[in-house]
Amino acid sequence: MSIKPESKQTIAATVGNEPADKTEQKQPVDTTITASPAIKLKAAIEQLDVERSALVKTTIENLKPGKPFDHAALRDINKIEIRKNRLIVARFAALLKKSDPAVQAIVHQIIEI
């Protein structure tokens, strides 16, 4: 005889499924689909900046005399910066594929630097 383990639901999971206010309605999904790539890029960069700032803040707060520096936090900060730079480069590449002359001028100026 095989007994299946019971699936446990946490209180947070069950509470999170119901809206706090019954009159509150969900926003339509169309708003995220219609957002332009530039707006999505700005939102993603802002999110990465928030993550980086929080990580830097906690790292600075944990600095104490006699306590070794947390190099893992520094690696995490660098990973966030790399993701941010890759997003920006991917956006420039996408704009270059569209052959927009204004973007081409900007990219050429960046290359010259």
Residue 18 has pLDDT above 70, yes or no: no
d(CA 107, CA 101): 10
CB-based contact 37:94 (threshold 8 Å): yes
Q: What is the mean pLDDT of the chain?
A: 75
Q: How confident is the model at residue 20 (pLDDT cuts 50, 70, 90)?
A: very low
Mean pLDDT of 27-55: 79
Residue 11, pLDDT score: 41
Least confident of 42-51, 82-91, 96-105: 96-105
d(CA 54, CA 77): 10
d(CA 80, CA 45): 10
CB-based contact 83:48 (threshold 8 Å): yes
Residue 96 has pLDDT above 90, yes or no: no
Please state the domain extents for the chain: 38-112
Angle at 55 between CA 52 and CA 61, to 5 degrees: 140
Residue 31, pLDDT score: 46
pTM, 2 dp: 0.58
User: In terms of C-beta density within 10 A (0-12 exposed, 13-18 middle, 19 or more buried), how is residue 16 classed?
Assistant: exposed
